[in-house]
Amino acid sequence: MNFTCVNNATGALEGYCLIKTAEQKTTQKGLPYLDMLLMDADGEITAKFWDYRPEAHGNFAPNELVKVRGTVSVYNGQDQFRVERLRRADERDDVRMEDFVPSAPETGEDMLAEIVLTAESFVNQDLRRLVLSILEERRAQLLYWPAAFRLHHAVRAGLLWHTLSMLRLARAIAPLYPQLNAELLYTGVILHDIEKLTEFDVPPTGLASGYTLKGNLVGHLVGGAVYLEQKARELELPDELLILLQHMLISHHGEPEFGAAMRPMFLEAEVLSEIDLLDARVNEVSAALAGVEPGAFTSKIWAMDNRKFYKHTYEAQG
């Protein structure tokens, strides 16, 4: 834990944390206390707020950012934080959720702005209207939503991170293959995972806590195709364009064994599937390599056919 302030006179520590768990309990003598697990980007620590009374101190719940003051002691060989003061963080504190949970390397606002800029450049007005309408409709969730529960880009704003990484790849590839309809490809990239916004349960942390009923029974591929039909009818888009986009969504996992309802059956759908696979695999391997020293191997990665990867000593350039 990284406490930003230390009172040299009392030894008290002070800083901002995220409440990971919180439960009201009583001691063997019947005295109330709040049992918590606090976390920040550096780690976690158990915490006890003795003589805790909700009517006097307020109610606290998981996934809330708080300012805390207290002291650290050792109990049963583990550090334990004894809370003296506790309050919710607010606007005056100037703290961001991104500083306390695994997050995308760019802000949601910046990533979404770049995606919107690409959509605004579309010559095809049907694609332009569709993409901009959806991005505006889903803006609030997109700014912090993860791309997965446990696999690639499973971090705060990970969905935008994955989408923008794919869009940058698509923009780099499109000039090499003039036979591609670039705007159709870009649209498929931007919208391919849009129904992940209904697939996961996601608290304000931006980290998925599990799957929704719709996520378990329908999934984001089929759910995305249904959502696109609703938007296409609302915007009066051509039938063929709708079918092409729906096919891109239901086929972007490539193979039925990976969840695709159909294999890609036109060029832009094939390229979308390959870009999606590349970005997901780079993210999976990079995350695993971050946890090992140069010259060592990762553990076996389930999403990569249980292969382990070697971390070589030649650093990335550029």
SS (H, E, C) 93-128: HCCCHHHCCCECCCCHHHHHHHHHHHHHCCCCHHHH
Report pLDDT digits (tens) over 88-102: 988 888 888 888 888
Average pLDDT on 39-63 reads: 88
User: Three-class SS of residue 160?
Assistant: helix
Q: What is the CATH number of domain 101-304?
A: 1.10.3210
d(CA 127, CA 251): 19
Distance in Å from the first CA to the final CA of the chain: 33
pLDDT computed for residue 29 by the predictor: 86
Domain residue spans of the chain: 5-93, 101-304
pLDDT higher at 4 or 269: 269
Q: 5-93: which CATH topology?
A: OB fold (Dihydrolipoamide Acetyltransferase, E2P) (2.40.50)
Helices (H) and strands (E) in the chain, counts: 10, 8
CA nearest to 152, candidates 266, 279, 52: 279
The 3-state DSSP composition of the chain as helix, strand, coil percent (nearest 5) reads: 45, 20, 35
**In sequence order, which residues have a C-beta less than 8 Å from that of residue 204 and are 6 or more positions away?**
63, 97, 144
pLDDT computed for residue 107 by the predictor: 95
Average pLDDT on 188-200 reads: 97
Task: Give the distance from CA 214 to its chain's centroid.
Answer: 19
Hey, what are 227's tokens? 């959502």
pLDDT higher at 214 or 9: 214
Q: 225 pLDDT exceeds 70?
A: yes
